[in-house]
Amino acid sequence: MSRIKIAIQGELGAYSHIAVEKLYKDAEIKTCATFEETFKQAYNDANYKIVIPIENSLAGRVADIHYLLPKYKLQIHGEFFLPVEHNLLGKPDANIEDIKYVRSHAQAISQCQKIITEKKFQPIISVDTAGSAKDLAGGKDKTIAAIASDLSAKMYNLKILQKNIEDDAGNVTRFLIMGKNIEQPEYVESKRYITSCIFRVKSEPSALYKCLGGFATNQVNLTKLESFSVKNTFDQANFYLDLEGHLEEGGVKKALEELGFHTETLDILGVYESSSFRLK
């Protein structure tokens, strides 16, 4: 049996790598330099799925993802919530007193402001957490540390100078599992589902109010609604929406039909089982 192929953004040891290991056994992982390269991999090769972070409980949504969703229109096959534990990593011969600079992805930097401020570290923004660890391992400067996972420490032979340096406990990142093919589960009444879509409202008064009215009248719960600009303009916005329910449920179907009537574009990104993490 062939191994499942997964593309991630970042180097091995990234939190996306950890998510893949928890989701799939013995997956064949392809690392990509950027989120767009990751999306392109699945768009050009339907044999690949991608595991992409979309939002974090502390830092909010991950930049660029919302713009790539309508561009490539990959289908969401599932979601996964990963508790994130950041670690301060140094060279094997370094101590925390040696550190003057700390390198990591912008999201990780923003999630660890307490220690950065307390220790007066100078932050260096990097493409990803594991890449920061890999670069640190390849250099000789022990005044630089990286914020990354404990898996990164093991993979790149780095010393954990301090564990769990995130500002708040309960730091969780939500990942989406996506692919080119539609993989919509059959509706089972006993299961919980999420339906995700992106839409653009008509340029008219009360447009968004009209779009959302169908969810209220059909008693459909929205778990997320976010706007982002269209093609760097302030004139119109796209909206990303997650709702509780399956397309085959009557209320969801009616609500989306009404949404479609009041929008210029409406793309269903996927129907998938709701993670048990949501019940906590």
Residues 71 and 93 occupy one common structural domain: no
Average pLDDT over residues 138-156: 95
- 33 inside domain: yes
* Amino acid sitting at position 172: V
What angle separates helix 65-72 from helix 35-44, to the nearest 10 degrees? 20
Query: What local confidence, expressed as pLDDT, does residue 168 receive?
Result: 85
Average pLDDT over residues 64-68: 88
- 187 inside domain: no
Asked whether the beta carbons of 86 and 97 are under 8 A apart, the reply is no
Residues 225 and 265 occupy one common structural domain: yes
- 184 inside domain: no
Residue with tokens 């993979």: 155
- 13 inside domain: yes
Residue 230: strand, helix, or coil = strand
Average pLDDT over residues 171-176: 94
Q: Look up residue 142 and give its DSSP letter.
A: T
Residues 47 and 92 occupy one common structural domain: no
Give the Cβ contact number of residue 167 at 10 Å. 16
Q: Which domain holds residue 224?
A: 193-279
* Amino acid sitting at position 115: I
- Examine the residue annotation and report whether 217 is marked as an active-site residue of this protein: no
Average pLDDT over residues 79-105: 96
Structural domain count of the chain: 3
Half-sphere exposure of 201 (CA within 13 A, CB side): 20
Residues 56 and 78 occupy one common structural domain: yes
- Examine the residue annotation and report whether 234 is marked as an active-site residue of this protein: no
Residues 79 and 93 occupy one common structural domain: no
Residues 198 and 271 occupy one common structural domain: yes
Q: Which of 115, 148, 179 is the last residue of a domain?
A: 179
Q: Is the pLDDT of residue 98 over 90?
A: yes
Q: What gap in Å lies between CA 235 and CA 196, rounded to an integer? A: 24
Q: Which of 179, 206, 238 is the last residue of a domain?
A: 179
Q: Is the pLDDT of residue 234 over 70?
A: no
CATH number at 113 reads 3.40.190.10
Q: Which of 148, 179, 210 is the last residue of a domain?
A: 179
Global pTM value: 0.90
The catalytic position among 38, 129, 173, 195 is 173
Average pLDDT over residues 87-110: 95
Asked whether the beta carbons of 7 and 38 are under 8 A apart, the reply is yes
Asked whether the beta carbons of 181 and 75 are under 8 A apart, the reply is yes
The catalytic position among 35, 39, 175, 215 is 175
Residues 100 and 78 occupy one common structural domain: no
Segment among 49-53, 95-99, 226-230, 242-246 with least mean pLDDT: 226-230
